[in-house]
Amino acid sequence: MAGESKPKTAKMKDVADLAGVSIKTVSRVLNNEPHVQDKLRNKVKDAVAKLEYVPSQSARSLRGNKSYNINLLCHASDSSYINAIQFGAVIACQKLGYQLSISLLEDLHNHSFDEIKAELEQLTHQHRPDGIMLVAPYAGNRMIAFALKELGIDVVRIGPVDLTADGILVEIDDYNASIELTKHLIDLGHKRIAFVRGLENQRATHVRFEGFSMAMNAAGLTVDPELVVPGSFDFSSGMTAGQTLLAHANPPTAVFASNDDMAAGLVTAATMAGVSVPGDLSVVGYDDSAVATRMRPELTTIHQPLHELGEVAIENLIDSFQHKRTGSSRRVVLDHNFVLRDTTAAPKNK
Amino acid sequence: MAGESKPKTAKMKDVADLAGVSIKTVSRVLNNEPHVQDKLRNKVKDAVAKLEYVPSQSARSLRGNKSYNINLLCHASDSSYINAIQFGAVIACQKLGYQLSISLLEDLHNHSFDEIKAELEQLTHQHRPDGIMLVAPYAGNRMIAFALKELGIDVVRIGPVDLTADGILVEIDDYNASIELTKHLIDLGHKRIAFVRGLENQRATHVRFEGFSMAMNAAGLTVDPELVVPGSFDFSSGMTAGQTLLAHANPPTAVFASNDDMAAGLVTAATMAGVSVPGDLSVVGYDDSAVATRMRPELTTIHQPLHELGEVAIENLIDSFQHKRTGSSRRVVLDHNFVLRDTTAAPKNK
DNA sequence: GAGAATTTTGACAAGGTTGTCAATATAGGA
DNA sequence: TCCTATATTGACAACCTTGTCAAAATTCTC
């Protein structure tokens, strides 16, 4: 009960001796392998419990050429979107006996393929993760995915990636979610609807705009190119977009911002300019991240099951390489939800 | 350039053969050990470069009984405070050849010491990190720190911890920062100043309140117990606190919220109640986290160098066990800044 | 220039696990 | 009952690095 002076950890040999079997049998029991009598199996389990034995990860790694480690490749940014996904990923890893580690990747803009590959090789050779998880803004980067494939590392990507992409993909149906969101605005009676794009190197930007356009067209509305403004998925670009749109000679009555952070910036810009939301301007976001319920009015948006995306991603990744299906392709699509809150209303002068 | 069918990784033996030396010499060069001629040293380095050799982490771990892994113990929450610290920690780890992994700890409320220790033993035995980093809300938990100490694991804690605590501590001077912040309100002319506490099991709550009280007393002002309200460091508890305070028969003219999230909730509650900030009510927060500049008006607060806290924490932790100073105690205090923004002004009816 | 002191180098073992393969025990078939 | 087929078990090597210690090479001292 007092200080244990020798926190000497038991090893497999000790368990074997206590159970009166060979270490190989202990190994078999621990890895749930067949060919062990129930009687011995129980003896071993008792010994394991008694000695509080935990296998040495490094020895297993060395012998089995596995690291029991999944690496999450992140960009340096404070994003509650990624935070939530990370959370789900950690849960799944812990459940499956893996460990989630975080690595930061420099900005890879205008880097050549070879440079990117070298960078990734450096990063992965260091700790040799069994798999890598890619989220925005890297999930949609073809060069990264390709480089990792060449390096023989299993990858799971979260979010909308090229339709032709292979590997493991976990996402929601961005296209239809965007249509839903746009329809909501149209159903309220809006006709001049603006769109704030995200980073152009992310497929999310394009898919969401595509859904938006299709919904507009289907309703017989045209997309005014002047009401399509750039953004970079962050708060301040949303503010800028808002200022641009409100300064327009014939401003929109509603805006589709392609994520919540930009929607928040937009609402802030509107409010500061004396434009009331949703009275004078309706705004929708995308993600349902933390900011959506912290701003006022609260944001109408698409809810992405972020924790679940993270969990499912890890589960599929691990399942894939545990069954030696390395290189296999699968695409998992999770459900989204339209969340009606307070930033949308019918336009005034209809 | 095409697909490398054999991504066969070189091992130390290969380097040794190419350089014409023994593997031990290669080992020495790689670990910057003395007793190698410059000539051989260069030969080895060339061979390493040519073969793109990277040592096997698992073999090193097994032999050296190190994991080159630091574990960050987190609570399940979406906190940009922790996010920023994590960021700094990853940077430092990457720089020093370590890996930062994330683990989630269940809520440990009303768990006995033995239960906590068992839980931590389970967690750490799995992957045997070389060190553990503790942040809020666990940094100040005495039982966790003590259990880890008994388990023989090096720990670094971020944030205000007991004055008598040993181990490695990295923090800012919360006491004096709180005094500064309070003085600012007092200097503006405020007399009825409220205080929103954080979680009671965190030392930050107590230190900040202590600073607040001292500053009030020093200025000859009394702290009205009715204006000291509870909180839990999150947005919604800030809103609740705001509602409570505004409903008071004799409401305060200023509020010290013990972190930014609560300050944001408070400002939101005030705005919704038609109380203008800073016109009718001044508000200060603490941390200078992302929300501080995304809310309107922007928040007057104390800036904590979060990235730096994370970096310095990791550096000290690694330095400590690399020099076999396991168990050594040190306390690093980083600079903070008072950040004047738009949520504070002189009271109206002075 | 010979012997001692020091520096440089390498052979070998050890670290804890799992894969391979052979040995043993059990079950099945004639 | 004996032989074959199958299930169970264990001995040993291998994974790749680093610590130990001894051997070899170099430098120093008188």
Q: How does pLDDT run across A224-253, given as a tens digit for each residue?
A: 999 999 999 999 999 999 999 999 999 999
CATH number, domain at A42? 1.10.260.40
The pLDDT, as a whole number, for residue A250 is 95
The pLDDT, as a whole number, for residue B164 is 73
Classify residue A340: in a domain, yes or no. Answer: no
Chain B residue whose CA is closest to A53: B125
> What percent of chain A has a predicted confidence (pLDDT) above 70?
96
pLDDT tens profile B131-169: 999 998 898 888 888 888 888 889 999 999 877 778 899
The pLDDT-based confidence of B8 (bands split at 50, 70, 90) is low
Indicate whether B181 and B277 sit together in one domain.
yes
Q: List C-alpha distances in Å: A55 to A7, A30, A70, A81.
A: 15, 9, 19, 35
Indicate whether A146 and A74 sit together in one domain.
yes
The pLDDT-based confidence of B29 (bands split at 50, 70, 90) is very high
Task: State the residue range of the domain holding A271.
Answer: 174-304
Chain B residue whose CA is closest to A296: B268
The pLDDT-based confidence of A5 (bands split at 50, 70, 90) is very low
The pLDDT-based confidence of B326 (bands split at 50, 70, 90) is low
CB A25 within 8 A of CB A43: no
Indicate whether B286 and B310 sit together in one domain.
no
Indicate whether A190 and A291 sit together in one domain.
yes
Closest CA to A31 of A92, A94, A97, A101: A97
Tally Cβ neighbours within 10 Å of residue B2. Answer: 5
Indicate whether B181 and B291 sit together in one domain.
yes
Residues 184-213 of B with CB under 8 A from A: none
Number of domains in chain A: 3
> What percent of chain B has a predicted confidence (pLDDT) above 90?
68
CATH number, domain at A122? 3.40.50.2300
Q: Which of residues 39-58 of B touch strand D (CB under 7 A)?
A: 55-56
CB A302 within 8 A of CB A211: no
Across the interface, whether the CB atoms of B94 and A104 are under 8 A apart is answered: yes
CA atoms within 13 A on the CB side of B18: 20
> At B170, is the secondary structure helix, strand, or coil?
strand
Burial state string for A20-48 with b = 16 or more CB within 10 A and e = fewer than 16:
ebeeebbbbbbeeeeebeeebbebbeebb
Classify residue A344: in a domain, yes or no. Answer: no
Average pLDDT of chain A to the nearest whole number: 91
Indicate whether B98 and B188 sit together in one domain.
no
How far, in Å, CA of A264 to CA of B181, rounded? 28
A9 interaction partners in chain B (CB closer than 8 Å): 125
Classify residue B194: in a domain, yes or no. Answer: yes
How much is the CA Rg of chain B, to the nearest whole Å? 26
Nucleic strand D under 7 Å from the C-beta of B31: yes
Backbone phi and psi for residue B156, each to the nearest 5 degrees, phi listed first: -125, 140
Q: Which of residues 50-79 of A touch strand D (CB under 7 A)?
A: 59, 62-63, 65
Indicate whether B166 and B312 sit together in one domain.
yes
Indicate whether B133 and B44 sit together in one domain.
no
Across the interface, whether the CB atoms of B101 and A102 are under 8 A apart is answered: yes
pLDDT tens profile B59-98: 999 998 888 999 999 887 778 899 999 999 999 999 998 9
pLDDT over threshold 90, residue A128: no
CB pairs under 8 A between A and B: 122
B64 CA: nearest nucleotide by C1': D18
Closest CA to A140 of A233, A235, A252, A223: A233
Indicate whether B164 and B313 sit together in one domain.
yes
CB A229 within 8 A of CB A184: no
Q: Measure B56 CA to nearest chain A CA, in Å.
A: 8
Indicate whether B280 and B293 sit together in one domain.
yes
Q: Measure A260 CA to nearest chain B CA, in Å.
A: 13
Classify residue B34: in a domain, yes or no. Answer: yes
Indicate whether B137 and B216 sit together in one domain.
no
Residues 43-62 of A with CB under 8 A from B: 52, 54, 56-59, 61-62
CA angle A223, A227, A230 (to 5 degrees): 115
Q: Scan for tokens 């986290």, then name that residue.
A: B289
Q: Is the peptide bond before A297 cis (omega within 30 degrees of 0)?
A: yes
Indicate whether B88 and B114 sit together in one domain.
yes
Sign of the C-alpha dihedral computed for residues B80, A157, A66 and A148 taken in this order? negative
